Amino acid sequence: MQNTFTNKNLSYGIVEVQDPFWSPYMQLIRNTVIPYQWEALNDRIPDAEPSYAIHNFLVSAGLKQGEFEGMVFQDSDVTKWLEAVGHSLRNYPDPHLEKIADKAIELIAKAQHSNGYINTYYTIKRPGKQWTNLQEAHELYCAGHLIEAAVAYYEGTGKRQLLDVACKLADHIDDVFGIEEGKIRGYDGHQEIELALVKLYKLTNETRYLMLAKFFIDERGTIPNYLLEESKRRGGNSVWHDQPAPFMTSNQLDYHQAHKPVREQEVAVGHAVRAVYMYTAMADLANLTGDRELREACCRLWENIVNKQMYITGGIGSSPHGEAFTFDYDLPNDTVYSETCASIGLIFFANRMLEMERSSGYADILERALYNNVISSMSQDGMHYFYVNPLEVWPEASEKNPGRRHVKAARQKWFGCSCCPPNVSRLLSSLNDYIYTVYPEENKIYTHLFIGSEAEHKLAAGIVQLKQESRLPWEGYTRFEFTLVPEVDFSLFLRIPSWCSGDPVLKINGVAVGFDIQGGYAVVVRQWAKGDILEWEMNIEAKLVESHPKIRANAGKVAIVRGPLVYCLEETDNCSVISSISINRKSNLEVSVDSTLPGNPIVVKAFGRKDQQLSWREDIPYRAVAQRNDSQSVLVNAVPYYLWGNRGVGEMSVWVRAFDCE
Amino acid sequence: MQNTFTNKNLSYGIVEVQDPFWSPYMQLIRNTVIPYQWEALNDRIPDAEPSYAIHNFLVSAGLKQGEFEGMVFQDSDVTKWLEAVGHSLRNYPDPHLEKIADKAIELIAKAQHSNGYINTYYTIKRPGKQWTNLQEAHELYCAGHLIEAAVAYYEGTGKRQLLDVACKLADHIDDVFGIEEGKIRGYDGHQEIELALVKLYKLTNETRYLMLAKFFIDERGTIPNYLLEESKRRGGNSVWHDQPAPFMTSNQLDYHQAHKPVREQEVAVGHAVRAVYMYTAMADLANLTGDRELREACCRLWENIVNKQMYITGGIGSSPHGEAFTFDYDLPNDTVYSETCASIGLIFFANRMLEMERSSGYADILERALYNNVISSMSQDGMHYFYVNPLEVWPEASEKNPGRRHVKAARQKWFGCSCCPPNVSRLLSSLNDYIYTVYPEENKIYTHLFIGSEAEHKLAAGIVQLKQESRLPWEGYTRFEFTLVPEVDFSLFLRIPSWCSGDPVLKINGVAVGFDIQGGYAVVVRQWAKGDILEWEMNIEAKLVESHPKIRANAGKVAIVRGPLVYCLEETDNCSVISSISINRKSNLEVSVDSTLPGNPIVVKAFGRKDQQLSWREDIPYRAVAQRNDSQSVLVNAVPYYLWGNRGVGEMSVWVRAFDCE
Tens digit of pLDDT for each residue in A377-419? 999 888 899 999 999 999 999 999 999 999 999 998 766 677 7
Q: Residues A646, A614: contact at Cβ < 8 Å?
A: no
Same-domain check for residues B98 and B203? yes
pLDDT at residue B381, rounded to an integer = 87
Q: Which amino acid, residue A268?
A: A
Secondary structure class of A259 (helix, strand, coil): coil
A63 assigned to some structural domain: yes
Interface test with A, best of B359, B388, B548, B654 (most A CBs within 10 A): B548
Q: Residues A233, A194: contact at Cβ < 8 Å?
A: no
| Other CB atoms within 10 A of residue A219 CB | 20
- Kindly state whether B402 is in contact with chain A, defined as any CB-CB distance less than 8 angstroms: yes
Same-domain check for residues B188 and B93? yes
Q: How far apart are CA B619 and CA A59, in angstroms?
A: 52
Cβ–Cβ gap A580/B555 under 8 Å = yes
Instruction: Kindly state the average pLDDT of the residues A542-555.
Output: 96
With cut-offs at 50, 70 and 90, classify the pLDDT of residue B285: very high
Secondary structure class of B219 (helix, strand, coil): helix
What are the residues facing B658 on neighbouring strands? B583
pLDDT at residue B236, rounded to an integer = 78
End-to-end C-alpha distance for chain A, whole angstroms: 70
| Other CB atoms within 10 A of residue B110 CB | 15
A320: closest chain B residue by CA: B403
Same-domain check for residues A150 and A198? yes
Question: How close B592 gets to chain A, by Cα (Å)?
Answer: 21
Q: Residues A542, A562: contact at Cβ < 8 Å?
A: yes
Same-domain check for residues A68 and A205? yes
pLDDT at residue B418, rounded to an integer = 72
A317: closest chain B residue by CA: B401
Hey, which residues 304-323 in chain B have their CB within 8 Å of chain A? 306-308, 310, 312, 318-322
Residue A301 has pLDDT above 60, yes or no: yes
Q: How far apart are CA B60 and CA B68, in angstroms?
A: 8
Q: In terms of Cα–Cα distance, which of B567, B519, B509 is closest to B363?
A: B519
pLDDT at residue B492, rounded to an integer = 97
The size of chain A, in residues, is 662
pLDDT at residue B630, rounded to an integer = 76
Please say which residue of A500, A516, A537 terminates a domain. Answer: A537
Query: Residues of chain B with pLDDT > 70: what percent?
Result: 97
- Kindly state whether B615 is in contact with chain A, defined as any CB-CB distance less than 8 angstroms: no
B471 assigned to some structural domain: yes
Residue A1 has pLDDT above 50, yes or no: no
Contacts of A502 (CB under 8 A, 6+ apart): A539
B501: closest chain A residue by CA: A624
- Kindly state whether A97 is in contact with chain B, defined as any CB-CB distance less than 8 angstroms: no
Q: Let me know if A647 is exposed, middle or buried by CB neighbors in 10 A (0-12, 13-18, 19+).
A: middle
Domains held by chain A: number: 3
B617: closest chain A residue by CA: A548
Same-domain check for residues A70 and A120? yes
| Other CB atoms within 10 A of residue A115 CB | 13
Instruction: Kindly state the average pLDDT of the residues B272-301.
Output: 97
- Kindly state whether A398 is in contact with chain B, defined as any CB-CB distance less than 8 angstroms: no
pLDDT at residue A4, rounded to an integer = 43
Residue A524 has pLDDT above 60, yes or no: yes
Kindly list the residues from chain B whose CB atom is less than 8 angstroms away from the CB atom of residue A545. Answer: 622-625
Same-domain check for residues A566 and A446? no
Q: Let me know if A413 is exposed, middle or buried by CB neighbors in 10 A (0-12, 13-18, 19+).
A: middle
pLDDT at residue B49, rounded to an integer = 84
Q: In terms of Cα–Cα distance, which of B272, B577, B260 is closest to B394?
A: B577
Instruction: Kindly state the average pLDDT of the residues B241-248.
Output: 78
- Kindly state whether A627 is in contact with chain B, defined as any CB-CB distance less than 8 angstroms: yes
Interface test with B, best of A625, A632, A655, A660 (most B CBs within 10 A): A625
Q: In terms of Cα–Cα distance, which of B380, B544, B427, B542 is closest to B476?
A: B542
State the catalytic residues of A.
Answer: 323, 419
pLDDT at residue B380, rounded to an integer = 86
Q: How far apart are CA A143 and CA A135, in angstroms?
A: 15
- Comparing CB atoms, the residue among B335, B545, B627 nearest residue A623 is B545
The whole-chain average pLDDT of chain A stands at 94
Q: Cis ω on the peptide bond leading into residue A224 (within 30° of 0)?
A: yes
Same-domain check for residues A21 and A170? yes
Tens digit of pLDDT for each residue in B10-53? 899 999 999 999 999 999 999 999 999 999 999 998 888 889 99
Contacts of A84 (CB under 8 A, 6+ apart): A29, A33, A34, A37, A152, A422, A425, A426, A429
A263 assigned to some structural domain: no
Is B575 assigned a catalytic role?
Answer: no
- How distant, in Å, are the alpha carbons of B4, B6, B116, B157, B202 from that of B206? 11, 11, 17, 21, 8
Q: Which amino acid, residue B160?
A: R
Please say which residue of B491, B508, B537 terminates a domain. Answer: B537
Tens digit of pLDDT for each residue in B126-142? 999 999 999 999 999 99
Tens digit of pLDDT for each residue in B194-232? 999 999 999 999 999 999 999 999 999 999 999 999 999
Kindly list the residues from chain B whose CB atom is less than 8 angstroms away from the CB atom of residue A622. Answer: 312, 545-548, 559
Instruction: Kindly state the average pLDDT of the residues B445-452.
Output: 98
Q: What's the CATH number where B492 sits?
A: 2.60.420
pLDDT at residue B4, rounded to an integer = 43
pLDDT at residue B1, rounded to an integer = 32
Half-sphere exposure of B98 (CA within 13 A, CB side): 17
Size of interface A-B (CB pairs under 8 A): 177
* H or E stretch at A287: helix A272-289
Residue B661 has pLDDT above 80, yes or no: no
What are the backbone dihedrals phi and psi of residue A238, each rounded to the nearest 5 degrees, phi first? -120, 145
DSSP A254: G
Cβ–Cβ gap B619/A394 under 8 Å = no
Q: Residues A144, A193: contact at Cβ < 8 Å?
A: yes
Q: How far apart are CA A457 and CA A465, in angstroms?
A: 6
Same-domain check for residues B458 and B561? no
Same-domain check for residues B90 and B194? yes
Tens digit of pLDDT for each residue in B477-487? 999 999 999 99
Hey, which residues 493-552 in chain A have their CB within 8 Å of chain B? 543-552
With cut-offs at 50, 70 and 90, classify the pLDDT of residue A577: very high
Q: How far apart are CA A473 and CA A601, in angstroms?
A: 9
* H or E stretch at B136: helix B134-137
Tens digit of pLDDT for each residue in A137-178? 999 999 999 999 999 999 999 999 999 999 999 999 999 999
A317 assigned to some structural domain: no
Hey, which residues 565-604 in chain B have their CB within 8 Å of chain A? 577, 579-580, 582, 585-586
Residues spanned by the domain of B565:
542-659
pLDDT at residue B662, rounded to an integer = 45
Hey, which residues 378-397 in chain B have their CB within 8 Å of chain A? 394, 396-397
Secondary structure class of B395 (helix, strand, coil): helix
With cut-offs at 50, 70 and 90, classify the pLDDT of residue B421: confident
Please say which residue of A503, A520, A537 terminates a domain. Answer: A537
Q: Residues A185, A179: contact at Cβ < 8 Å?
A: yes
Query: Residues of chain A with pLDDT > 70: what percent?
Result: 97
Kindly list the residues from chain A whose CB atom is less than 8 angstroms away from the CB atom of residue B335. Answer: 335, 403
Q: Residues B216, B232: contact at Cβ < 8 Å?
A: no
Q: How far apart are CA B278 and CA A519, in angstroms?
A: 67
Same-domain check for residues A468 and A614? no
B229 assigned to some structural domain: no
Instruction: Tell how strand A656-659 and strand A557-562 pair up.
Output: antiparallel
With cut-offs at 50, 70 and 90, classify the pLDDT of residue B588: very high
Residue B628 has pLDDT above 70, yes or no: no
Question: How close B579 gets to chain A, by Cα (Å)?
Answer: 6
DSSP A223: S
B146 assigned to some structural domain: yes
Interface test with B, best of A372, A545, A552, A631 (most B CBs within 10 A): A552
The whole-chain average pLDDT of chain B stands at 94
Same-domain check for residues A574 and A533? no
B214 assigned to some structural domain: yes
Tens digit of pLDDT for each residue in A271-298? 999 999 999 999 999 999 999 999 999 9
A615: closest chain B residue by CA: B548
What are the backbone dihedrals phi and psi of residue A177, each rounded to the nearest 5 degrees, phi first? -110, 140
Q: Let me know if A529 is exposed, middle or buried by CB neighbors in 10 A (0-12, 13-18, 19+).
A: exposed
Kindly list the residues from chain B whose CB atom is less than 8 angstroms away from the CB atom of residue A625. Answer: 543-546, 558, 585, 658
Task: Work out the angle at residue B572's Cα, subtended by the Cα atoms of residues B600 and B341, and round it to the nearest 5 degrees.
Answer: 70
- Kindly state whether B620 is in contact with chain A, defined as any CB-CB distance less than 8 angstroms: yes
Q: How far apart are CA B60 and CA B392, in angstroms?
A: 43
Same-domain check for residues A76 and A127? yes
Question: How close A647 gets to chain B, by Cα (Å)?
Answer: 22
With cut-offs at 50, 70 and 90, classify the pLDDT of residue A614: confident
- Kindly state whether A658 is in contact with chain B, defined as any CB-CB distance less than 8 angstroms: yes
Tens digit of pLDDT for each residue in B377-413? 999 888 899 999 999 999 999 999 999 999 999 998 7
- Comparing CB atoms, the residue among A312, A319, A334 nearest residue B402 is A319
Contacts of B642 (CB under 8 A, 6+ apart): B371, B372, B375, B376, B565
Kindly list the residues from chain B whose CB atom is less than 8 angstroms away from the CB atom of residue A310. Answer: 621
Instruction: Kindly state the average pLDDT of the residues A636-643.
Output: 98
- Kindly state whether A171 is in contact with chain B, defined as any CB-CB distance less than 8 angstroms: no
B346 assigned to some structural domain: no
- Comparing CB atoms, the residue among A322, A550, A625 nearest residue B585 is A625
Secondary structure class of B609 (helix, strand, coil): strand
Question: How close B49 gets to chain A, by Cα (Å)?
Answer: 20
With cut-offs at 50, 70 and 90, classify the pLDDT of residue A628: low
Cβ–Cβ gap B549/A319 under 8 Å = no
- Kindly state whether B463 is in contact with chain A, defined as any CB-CB distance less than 8 angstroms: no
- How distant, in Å, are the alpha carbons of B310, B360, B438, B453 from that of B448? 21, 7, 11, 13
Q: Residues B528, B482: contact at Cβ < 8 Å?
A: yes
pLDDT at residue B7, rounded to an integer = 58
Hey, which residues 243-262 in chain B have their CB within 8 Å of chain A? 243
With cut-offs at 50, 70 and 90, classify the pLDDT of residue B2: very low
| Other CB atoms within 10 A of residue A627 CB | 9
Contacts of B180 (CB under 8 A, 6+ apart): none
For B542-575, give one letter per residue: b (16+ CB within 10 A) or e: bbbbbbbbbbbbbbbbbbbbbbbbbbbbbbbbbb
Half-sphere exposure of B323 (CA within 13 A, CB side): 19
Radius of gyration (C-alpha) of chain A in whole angstroms = 25
Cβ–Cβ gap A622/B397 under 8 Å = no
For A348-375, give one letter per residue: b (16+ CB within 10 A) or e: bbbbbbbbbebebbbbbbbbbbbbbbbb
Cβ–Cβ gap B402/A322 under 8 Å = yes
- Kindly state whether A47 is in contact with chain B, defined as any CB-CB distance less than 8 angstroms: no
What are the residues facing A477 on neighbouring strands? A537
pLDDT at residue A151, rounded to an integer = 98
